[in-house]
């Protein structure tokens, strides 16, 4: 199988490419190596992938439509997994235009080029943030997701809608994933686990929002990429040729398109998460209490039954084991 992965030097893209390569796939990566966080970390991930004979990567931006179309035409992929994006809730207050460029224009370019290259299934990363002010927990794919509270979430919701229209018009099978707080080795330096680990080990204080009364459905990256690998083979059927309905399915009535949550279904309170990290590091954190941040939601919680029905698998790594795994990697990587 030939797979084209955007964001291949990013946190999730790196893990997904590695898993696909180990499973015998040929992988063409695409990444602009953006400076949102230190590109040195992206170069390290890329070097590890380039040790595999079945991997090549194009370094270019999604906004460069001709470069993206060329890379896809050369790769002739069976499947496209689109992970490249401007991520991050808080940065979208500071730099909203970068989200328009990467997420809206970039995803449009990707969908057009994937179709032209003859891909038979396109899988696109969205986020639990699209549930926004939806009050119903746990979040189900069939819940309303119409009230984004960050601009990041608004652009991700827009990519979901764009992909639905193109799936309908061109009969192109599209799976949209909604990821819930992904963590693990080679993680993102802007996310809480990485930032807190770094600060605690350096004896710096950490900022704790909403008095620690926030819940996140932390999902280990190994579980996440396993779920993606399984969903690659579950292209949504078009309106004709559908078999028995899958319980809770989010399939579009008119297009080969569905959205699937990938989360741990076990939300953890932020203050408990910090307790677990302190125990693992063997050091206390100096906690600076801060109010709730604009754009944040107090709770996320995935209902993963659709993923379970489709693949027979649901993420279930316990946060303690996952934090141990992350800290072991962090200490080795950073020599501390
Ligand atoms: N990590 C999480 O907890 C999480 C949660 C929900 C959704 N997501 C989504 O999952 C996807 C992957 O996230 P990640 O955590 O690996 O992030 P990441 O920032 O580590 O990876 C994204 C990669 O895309 C590249 N990129 C960004 N903009 C680009 C552009 N315009 N052109 C070309 N390349 C570009 C970056 O260089 C980076 O390597 C993103 O779509 C993100 O929105 C992540």
- Split at pLDDT 50, 70, 90, the class of 305 is very high
- Split at pLDDT 50, 70, 90, the class of 281 is very high
> Does position 241 have pLDDT exceeding 90, yes or no?
no
Residues known to be catalytic: 152
- Local structure of 97: helix, strand or coil: helix
Q: What spacing in Å lies between the alpha carbon of 323 and ligand 1's midpoint?
A: 21
User: Pocket residues for ligand 1 (CB within 6 Å)?
Assistant: 7, 9-13, 31-34, 42, 61-63, 83-87, 102, 106, 125, 127, 179, 181-182, 188
Contact status, residue 183 vs residue 193, Cβ threshold 8 Å: yes
Q: What is the pTM of this model?
A: 0.98
pLDDT in tens, 312-328: 999 999 999 999 999 99
Least confident range of 165-174, 199-208, 241-250:
241-250
Same domain, 58 and 203: no
- Local structure of 192: helix, strand or coil: helix
Q: Which residue's C-alpha comes closest to atom 32 of ligand 1?
A: 61
The count of domains in the chain is 2
Same domain, 73 and 177: yes
Average pLDDT over residues 113-117: 98
Question: What pLDDT does 322 receive?
Answer: 98
Question: What pLDDT does 236 receive?
Answer: 98
Q: Which ligand 1 atom is nearest residue 152's CA? A: 43
* Nearest partner of 213 among 152, 276, 263, 274, judged by Cα: 274
Pocket test for ligand 1, best of 45, 84, 105 (most atoms within 8 A of CB): 84
Same domain, 9 and 31: yes
Q: Which ligand 1 atom is nearest residue 45's CA? A: 39
- Write b or e for each residue in 211-239: b if 16 or more Cβ atoms lie within 10 A of its Cβ, otherwise e: eeebbbbbbbbbbbbbbbbebbebbbebe
Q: What spacing in Å lies between the alpha carbon of 284 and ligand 1's midpoint?
A: 31
Same domain, 93 and 149: yes
- Split at pLDDT 50, 70, 90, the class of 104 is very high
Same domain, 326 and 261: no
* Nearest partner of 138 among 265, 313, 324, judged by Cα: 265
Contact status, residue 201 vs residue 50, Cβ threshold 8 Å: no
* Nearest partner of 21 among 41, 42, 45, 51, judged by Cα: 51
Q: What spacing in Å lies between the alpha carbon of 84 and ligand 1's midpoint?
A: 4
Question: What pLDDT does 304 receive?
Answer: 98
Q: What spacing in Å lies between the alpha carbon of 83 and ligand 1's midpoint?
A: 6
Q: What spacing in Å lies between the alpha carbon of 225 and ligand 1's midpoint?
A: 14
> Does position 108 have pLDDT exceeding 90, yes or no?
yes
Average pLDDT over residues 228-232: 98
Q: What spacing in Å lies between the alpha carbon of 292 and ligand 1's midpoint?
A: 24
- Split at pLDDT 50, 70, 90, the class of 189 is very high
Pocket test for ligand 1, best of 7, 182, 302 (most atoms within 8 A of CB): 7
Same domain, 118 and 157: yes
Q: Which ligand 1 atom is nearest residue 84's CA? A: 24
pLDDT in tens, 30-63: 999 999 999 999 999 999 999 999 999 999 999 9
DSSP assignments along 151-189, one per residue: HHHHHHHHHHHHHHHHHHHHT--EEEEEE--EE-TT--T
Same domain, 151 and 44: yes
Same domain, 155 and 177: yes
pLDDT in tens, 125-167: 999 999 999 989 999 999 999 999 999 999 999 999 999 999 9
* Nearest partner of 219 among 146, 89, 127, 149, judged by Cα: 127
Same domain, 120 and 207: no
Question: What pLDDT does 274 receive?
Answer: 98
CATH of the domain at 328: 3.90.25.10
Question: What pLDDT does 146 receive?
Answer: 95
Same domain, 156 and 179: yes
Segments forming the whole domain that contains residue 54: 2-183+219-265+307-311
Question: What pLDDT does 309 receive?
Answer: 98
Q: Which ligand 1 atom is nearest residue 37's CA? A: 19
Omega into 18 within 30° of 0, i.e. cis? Answer: no
CATH of the domain at 163: 3.40.50.720
Same domain, 207 and 234: no
Q: Which residue's C-alpha comes closest to atom 11 of ligand 1?
A: 83
- Split at pLDDT 50, 70, 90, the class of 12 is very high
Q: What's the mean per-residue pLDDT of the chain?
A: 97
d(CA 6, CA 15): 12
Q: Which residue's C-alpha comes closest to atom 37 of ligand 1?
A: 33
Average pLDDT over residues 93-119: 98
pLDDT in tens, 169-179: 999 999 999 99
Same domain, 109 and 209: no
Q: Which residue's C-alpha comes closest to atom 2 of ligand 1?
A: 182
- Split at pLDDT 50, 70, 90, the class of 251 is very high
């Amino acid at each position: 199988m030939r797979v084209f992965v955007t964001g291949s030097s990013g946190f999730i893209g790196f893990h997904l490419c590695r898993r696909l390569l180990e499973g015998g796939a040929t992988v063409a990566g695409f990444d602009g190596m953006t400076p949102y966080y230190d590109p040195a970390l992206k170069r390290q991930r890329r070097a590890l992938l380039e040790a595999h004979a079945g991997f090549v990567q194009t370094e270019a931006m999604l906004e460069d439509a001709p470069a993206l179309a060329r890379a896809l035409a050369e790769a002739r992929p069976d499947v496209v997994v689109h992970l490249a994006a401007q991520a991050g809730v808080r940065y979208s207050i500071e730099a909203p235009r970068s989200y328009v460029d990467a997420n809206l224009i970039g995803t449009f370019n990707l969908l057009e080029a994937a179709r032209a290259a003859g891909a038979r299934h396109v899988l696109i990363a969205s986020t639990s943030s699209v549930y926004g002010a939806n009050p119903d927990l746990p979040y189900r794919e069939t819940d309303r997701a119409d009230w984004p509270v960050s601009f990041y979430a608004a652009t991700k919701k827009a990519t979901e809608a764009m992909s639905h229209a193109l799936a309908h018009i061109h009969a192109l099978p599209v799976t949209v994933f909604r990821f819930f707080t992904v963590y693990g080795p080679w993680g993102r330096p802007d996310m809480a686990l990485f930032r807190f680990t770094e600060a605690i080990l350096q004896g710096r204080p950490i900022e704790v929002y909403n008095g620690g009364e926030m819940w996140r459905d932390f999902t280990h990256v190994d579980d996440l990429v396993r779920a993606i690998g399984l969903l690659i083979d579950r292209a949504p059927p078009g309106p004709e040729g559908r078999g028995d309905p899958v319980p809770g399915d989010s399939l579009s009535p008119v297009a080969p398109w569905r959205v699937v949550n990938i989360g741990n279904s076990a939300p953890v309170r932020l203050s408990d998460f910090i307790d677990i990290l302190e125990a693992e590091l063997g050091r206390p954190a100096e906690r600076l209490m801060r109010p709730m941040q604009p754009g944040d939601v107090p709770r996320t919680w995935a209902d993963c039954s659709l993923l379970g029905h489709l693949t027979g698998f649901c993420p279930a790594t316990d946060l303690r084991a996952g934090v141990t795994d992350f800290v072991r990697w962090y200490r080795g990587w950073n020599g501390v």
